[in-house]
Structure formats: C-alpha cells, structure tokens
Structure 1
Amino acid sequence: MSKLKVGLAGEAGETVTRDKTAQAYGSGQIEVYATPAMIGLMENAALSAVDHLLDEGKTTVGISISVKHLAATPVGFPVKAKASLKEIDGGRLVFAVDAYDSNKKIGTGEHQRFIVETERFLNKAKSLE
C-alpha cells in the first residue's frame, strides 16, 4: 500500500449510447445520460487511479458515493470521468470525482473505496448464497 499517495489520478471515458440513458436504466423517461451510468464511470476512474498499484491479490471495492448530476448529455456525446485520490485512511480511499461531456462539467462529488483481499472478499460473498 506504500505505493498509494494522495494526488494519484485516474480517468475513464465512454460515449453515451441508448443503453446508458435514463430511459434504459429505468431512472427516467428521456434518452439522456443516466445518473447510474455516470456513477459507474466515476467509480471506474477511481479504480484506474489505484488498482494497478495494489499488492498482488488485492483490489478495491466501492463503499460510498455522493454525487450531483449537474447537466444532461444526449446520446452520441463522449463523456469522461476524472478521479483524484484526496485521502488515505488505512484501507479506506477517498476520491474527488468529476464528469464532463464535450461541452461542460456534468457531475461532481466524492467516492470512497476500500482495499480488500480479493479471494477472501469473494469467498465471503459466496458464503452468503
């Protein structure tokens, strides 16, 4: 974990397609970029900032997200999320996250992830079946 430092940054991007709209997610009736899709993109940006630096057999899982979806983005537009690691508290990682389309900022917030041992985490999840 010593490779992790405040300030690490990650990005993720995609194009808004019909399957990423509020209508497709069931979170609205119009074909604009869905808030759940934006949140997923923000999580992916945070993951990309740190996952490659973790020790073998470890990964991060999302534990909290608080975002504002500021503006609508229509189908066909590219969107990008950026994450910056702003706090490390043991295994808890806190990120500032922002999302943009080609014209404007469309989302902003904070996302927390926790470092886990992958195999142990999966075994615990399977035991809940």
Structure 2
Amino acid sequence: MELKTGLIHETSIMVEESNTAIAYGSGGVRVFATPAMIGLMEKAALELADQYLPEGETTVGTLVNIKHTAATPVGMKVVARAELIQIEGKKLSFVVEARDETGPVGAGKHERFIVNQEKFLQRAESKLD
C-alpha cells in the first residue's frame, strides 16, 4: 500500500465534559471545544498517514486553517474526516471536516510533515541543553 492523494480516513469521539470549551478554557459554554475538534481532525489525518509510513516515521502537524461552524452538545458523537489532497515531498495537505449527528460542524485545511521520530525528538530535546 502506498500513500497517495484521494485517501480518506475517519475517526470519532463522544462529546463529554472533558472535551468541552469550558474544560479546555477556550470558551464559557458546555459544548465541544474548538481545540478538541481541531485535534480530532488532526488525529484523522495522522492515522491516515501512519498506515502507509515505514517503521520509525510519523507525521507532525504544521498548519491548521479551520472554521468551527456549529455547536455540539455533551452526549453527541463527532466524526472527523481527512482526505489527502496533495503530496509535495514530505509535506502532506489534507481537507478536513467534522460533523455531529445532525450535520457539519467544522471544515478546513491541514498540513503535516513526514519526520523520522527519533531525529525529530532528538532535535526537540536538544532545546533543553
């Protein structure tokens, strides 16, 4: 199997107290938090790419451009969908969207870069020196 444009992956989560805007500190209402929705979209893209990458490689998120268009209350399920639309070397571009049981709640674009996990962590940890 090979990483190619047109691939699609979905993942889902139930809205609970722990992923509300209040819990995230991103708002004052008891609905699915925008950062939680973005994280779910990133997870869909990550899981899509990881299926096709060799051992020791993964992707890291580098860009999100997302609109959160509708609120989802506690107790509803949210599904995020990522479609790989472009591959430029190690840069992967995705169209992402999220929906709850009544319809769309968010959409946008997301980019990830393919990295070697060990080298990436070494670079990050070198900041501690």
SS of residue matched to 1:76: coil
- Count of residues in correspondence between the two structures: 128
- Which ranges of structure 2 fall in alignment gaps of 5 or more residues? none
SS of residue matched to 2:13: strand
Alignment of 1:84-99 (within 5 A): 84-99=83-98
1:110 Cα deviation (Å)? 0.3
Q: Is residue 109 of structure 2 the alignment partner of residue 110 of structure 1?
A: yes
SS of residue matched to 2:31: coil
Give the match for residue 55 of structure 1.
54
Distance 2:27 2:92 in 1: 31
Give the TM-score normalised by structure 2.
Answer: 0.97
Give the TM-score normalised by structure 1.
Answer: 0.97
Q: Is residue 71 of structure 2 the alignment partner of residue 72 of structure 1?
A: yes
Distance 2:3 2:77 in 1: 30
Give the match for residue 9 of structure 2.
10
Q: Percent identity?
A: 52
Does the 8 Å CA contact 1:8/1:50 hold for their aligned counterparts? no
Moved over 6 A (4+): none
Does the 8 Å CA contact 1:83/1:98 hold for their aligned counterparts? yes
Give the match for residue 29 of structure 1.
28
Give the match for residue 40 of structure 1.
39
SS of residue matched to 2:94: strand
Distance 1:55 1:106 in 2: 33
Does the 8 Å CA contact 1:9/1:85 hold for their aligned counterparts? yes
Distance 1:9 1:104 in 2: 19
Distance 1:74 1:56 in 2: 38
SS of residue matched to 1:75: coil
Does 52-61 or 65-74 show the bigger shift?
52-61
